Amino acid sequence: MAGFQDYLSDKYQTENIQAINERLLELSSLFEISQILNSSLELNEVLNNILLIPMGRLMISRGAILLQAGDNFQLRLGKGVAEEAEKIKFSEKDLPSEVYLTDDIANKSKAKITDDFRSFLTDQKFAIAVPIKSQNKLIGLVLYGHKLTKQIFAEEEIDFMLSLANLSATAIMNALKVEEIKNINLQLDERIQQLKTLFDIAQGLSATLDSDKIVKLLTYALMGQMLVYHYAIVIQRNGDLQKIDCKGFLQDTIENVSTELSKYPVLESAAIIDAIEPKALKDQLWKIGARIFIPLRHQNQNIGYILLGEKINKQKYTDIDVEFLTTLVNQAVISIENARLFKETLEKQRIEQELQVAKTIQTKLLPREIITVLGYDIWGINKSSKEVGGDYYDVIPISDSTMALAIADVSGKSVPAALLMANLQAGLRSLIREDIPLNQIVGRLNNLIHQNTDLDKYITFFVGILNTHSHDFSYVNAGHNPPMFLHPDGNLDLLDVGGIILGMIPDYHYETGKIKFQPKDILICYTDGVNEALDRKEDEYGEERLQKFIIGNNKLGAKTLAEGLVADILKFSEGAPQYDDITLLISKRIAY
C-alpha cells in the first residue's frame, strides 16, 4: 500500500512539474512576443505580428483586426477576409468587451454583441473575437477564424489570445501615435513644398516636358496662392476625360460635372461660380463646393477646366484673383500642350523603331527561297499588315526524301512576337532533324514556349513531314487554322488532328494525323490574317470564300495560286486597314 501511495505522490509531483514547466514556457513565449511587438513602431508590422503569431501557432484559417477610427471601429488589417469587409464600420456598442465565441451556444462568456456584429462574424467565418483594451478602454478587436483541424479552442488557447491582446495594446497605442506624428509631419512637409513651389512655378512650368509634373506644379501654385485645399484639374479632349487630379472633391462627382458641362456652351474665361449661367449649372457647381471655374483653352479649343473650392480664410475670390488665375493657367496650358506633343513624338519614334526591329527579325526568319523538290510545287508568301505580327512559315529539308512544312501565328505584335517566333523557329529546326516522333517534337516545343513566356503569350502551330518518295504526309495541328487538303475532284479535307495551342499547358500529349498526296493534290496552309481579312464594312473574307477561291483555281501552280489569293483578299478589303499578317504556304504534287 505504501508503494502505491508513493507512486501516486511521484505522479502528482511529475504532473505538477510538467504543468509548471508548460506555464513557464508559455510565459517565456509571451515575454518574447511582447519584445517582438514593442520592437517596432510601424503599425502594420505590429498588427501583422498580432495576427500571424496565433494563426501560425494554432493553425487558424483567417484573421482580422478592428481598430478605433474616430467614433467607429473599422477593419485595419485582414488575412483571408473579403474586400467588402473593409468598408463596414461598427460603433463601440456593437462590439464585445469580453472574449466572444461564435460557437458558444450557451453564451458562457456573457459577452454582449449586436445582431449586426454577430452577422458580420458569421458571414466572414470568424470563430472568436478578443478585445484589445488600453487603460480599461476598448481600442480594438482581434478576430480569428476556425482552426484548420476543426477543433474548438481550448481554454489555455483562449487565455493565450487574450494575453497577447493585452500585451499588444501598448504597442498599438505607441504605433498609432507615431503614425499620427508622421501624418502631421507629412502635412507640414507638403505645406512647405507648396509655398516653395509658388515662387518657382513660372520657371518650373517652362523647364519640364512631363505633363504630370506640370499638373503637380500647377496644383502647388493654386493651393499656395489661393489658400485652398479643394481643387479639381480636369484634362479632356473631344469630350473624353484623360486625367483628373483632385483633392476635396470626389472623382465620380467631377466626372458627373464634366458630363453636365458638355451640355452647355463652353465657358471661355475664368468666372466666379455666382456669375455662371445657366442657373442649373451654377447651382450644381455650388452644391459640390466649387467657388471658381477656370477653363483650360488652347488655340480656341477647350482642353479641360479647373475648379477651386472655398478659401481656407473664408474670403471671397476677387477680380484680381481671377486675373492671376487666368495668367497662371494660360502658362500651364502651353506647357501641358508642349509636353503632349513631345510625348507623342517620342512615342511615335519608339513605335517606328520597334516596328522596324520586329520587321527585320521577322523577315530574316522567313525562308529566303523555297527549296526545289522533285515532284512537288511549293511556295510561301507573307504580306505584313501595318502592325508587324508574329506569322511564320518554313520549309526545312530533313533528308533526301523528307522535308518539314510549318506555319505558325504568334500572339501579340511587334518585337515580343518576333522574338517568340525566333524561339519557335530555333527549337523546331533543332528538333526536326532528330529521330523523334513528330508529336513528341511538338510536345517539346509546347514545353519550351510554356517555360519561357507568360500565360498571355501563345502560338498556333501546324507542322508536317512529307516523304517525297512515298508521298506520305504526317502532321500535328496545335490549335492552328486547319489547313485545306484539296483533291482534283474538288473534295476538300481539313487537317485538324493534333491538340491545343503551344504554350498553354505543359506536358500536353499531341496526336499525329496522316494523309497521302495523290497527283494534283494541294495542301493550303494559312494564318487567320487570310480568313479574317476585313472590308470597309468590317465583314470578314471568311473560310467559305477562301474554299471557293481555292477550288475554282486548283489548276494553278503554287506560286500563282498564292499570289492570286492575296490579290483576291486585297480586292475584297478595298484598301481597308488590316491588323494581321497574311501568310500562306501552298504545296502541290505535280502529276507525273
Dump the DSSP string for 390-419: -EEEEEEE-SSSEEEEEEEEESS-HHHHHH
DSSP track, 546-580? HHHHHHHTTTS-HHHHHHHHHHHHHHHHTT---SS
d(C-alpha 126, C-alpha 116), whole Å: 14
Grid coordinates of 354? 520597334
The fold adopted by the segment(s) 22-179 is Beta-Lactamase (3.30.450)
How high is the pLDDT of residue 24? 47
Grid coordinates of 333? 496650358
* Helix (H) or strand (E) segment spanning residue 460: strand 459-467
How high is the pLDDT of residue 359? 65
Q: In this structure, which amino acid lies at residue 6? A: D
* Among 239, 200, 238, CA closest to 216: 200
Give the C-alpha distances (Å, rounded to integers) separating 246 from 138, 269, 288: 36, 21, 13
Domain 366-589 is in which class?
alpha beta
How high is the pLDDT of residue 521? 95
How high is the pLDDT of residue 468? 92
- Are 22-179 and 366-589 the same fold in CATH? no
- Arch. (CATH architecture) of 208-341: 2-Layer Sandwich (3.30)
3-state secondary structure of 290: coil
- Please say whether the beta carbons of 387 and 355 come within 8 A: yes
- Indicate yes or no: pTM above 0.85: no
pLDDT, averaged per 10 consecutive residues of the chain (592 residues), comes to 52 52 50 64 82 83 88 88 84 89 66 86 89 88 89 84 83 84 70 51 67 80 81 77 79 78 70 79 84 82 84 83 78 79 74 63 69 88 71 89 92 72 85 91 92 80 94 96 94 95 93 95 94 88 93 93 93 81 92 62
**Per-domain boundaries in the chain:** 22-179, 208-341, 366-589
The tally of CA atoms less than 13 A away on the side-chain side of residue 564 is 16
